[in-house]
């Protein structure tokens, strides 16, 4: 389960660019994330977690899925993981995506048309860094690729992340905005 918060933190850090080619649309966004690690440990951990979820009695599994959905997290076997976030009108006006916990900072950014290339670093245990590129199809859709360098169980780990973001609705429902 520890990989999903890492993915959400890194995803939001990667999307926290102040110079988009168009304004963000405020409201509920869904970020689909597919991650692949060099060692395969992350995928093994996610598969084990999904197997444990599948073994739960139906009522407990449903309760767990509802709890995760209430936090904007969705997981399905063989599908990208999803994170739903709420972008406030103020955040959209400032052209910023919310930070999950403030540990990650942009270290470089270059924009050309609807593409943004960036580098980032994150403090914490373990420290993490990476770079990537996003293509903004509109104010309601984007896709991108990110390479992440971190450590897992004390060993260097390189991960590749493919993301796709799409605007869902103006009303965020039960999903609360991040600061």
DSSP E strands in 81-154: the ranges are 81-87, 104-112, 115-122, 128-138, 141-152
For residue 3, name the pLDDT band (cuts at 50, 70, 90).
very low
CA distance 80 to 76: 7
Convert the pLDDT of each residue in 82-105 to its tens digit.
888 888 888 877 755 555 567 788
Identify the pLDDT of residue 18: 41
End-to-end CA distance of the chain: 23
Whether 28 shows a pLDDT value over 70: the answer reads yes
Q: What pLDDT, on a 0 to 100 scale, did the predictor assign at position 7?
A: 52
Instruction: Quote the pLDDT of residue 17.
Output: 45
Please tell me the predicted confidence (pLDDT) of residue 20. 44
The structural domains of the chain, with segments of one domain joined by +, span 3-169
Residue 165 has pLDDT above 70, yes or no: yes
pTM of the full predicted structure? 0.69
């Amino acid at each position: 389960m520890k990989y999903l918060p890492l993915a959400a933190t890194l995803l939001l850090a990667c999307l926290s660019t102040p110079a988009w080619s168009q304004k963000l649309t405020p409201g509920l966004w869904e970020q689909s994330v597919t991650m692949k690690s060099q060692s395969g440990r992350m995928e093994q951990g996610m598969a084990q977690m999904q197997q444990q979820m599948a073994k739960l009695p139906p009522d407990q599994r449903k309760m767990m899925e509802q709890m995760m959905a209430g936090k904007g997290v969705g997981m399905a076997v063989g599908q990208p993981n999803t994170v739903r976030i709420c972008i406030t009108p103020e955040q959209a006006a400032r052209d910023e995506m919310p930070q999950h916990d403030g540990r990650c900072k942009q270290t470089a950014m270059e924009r050309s048309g609807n593409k943004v290339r960036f580098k980032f670093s994150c403090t914490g245990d373990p420290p993490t860094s990476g770079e990537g590129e996003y293509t903004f199809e509109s104010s309601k859709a984007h896709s991108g690729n990110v390479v992440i360098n971190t450590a897992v169980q004390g060993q260097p780990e390189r991960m590749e992340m493919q993301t796709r973001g799409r605007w869902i609705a103006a009303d965020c429902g039960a999903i609360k905005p991040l600061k």
